A and B are shown apart, each in its own frame.
Chain A
Amino acid sequence: GAGVSQSPSNKVTEKGKDVELRCDPISGHTALYWYRQSLGQGLEFLIYFQGNSAPDKSGLPSDRFSAERTGGSVSTLTIQRTQQEDSAVYLCASSGGQISGNTIYFGEGSWLTVV
Chain B
Amino acid sequence: AQKVTQAQTEISVVEKEDVTLDCVYETRDTTYYLFWYKQPPSGELVFLIRRNSFDEQNEISGRYSWNFQKSTSSFNFTITASQVVDSAVYFCALSERNQGGKLIFGQGTELSVKP
Q: Are A and B bound to each other?
A: no
Q: Which residues of A contact B (CB under 8 A)?
A: none
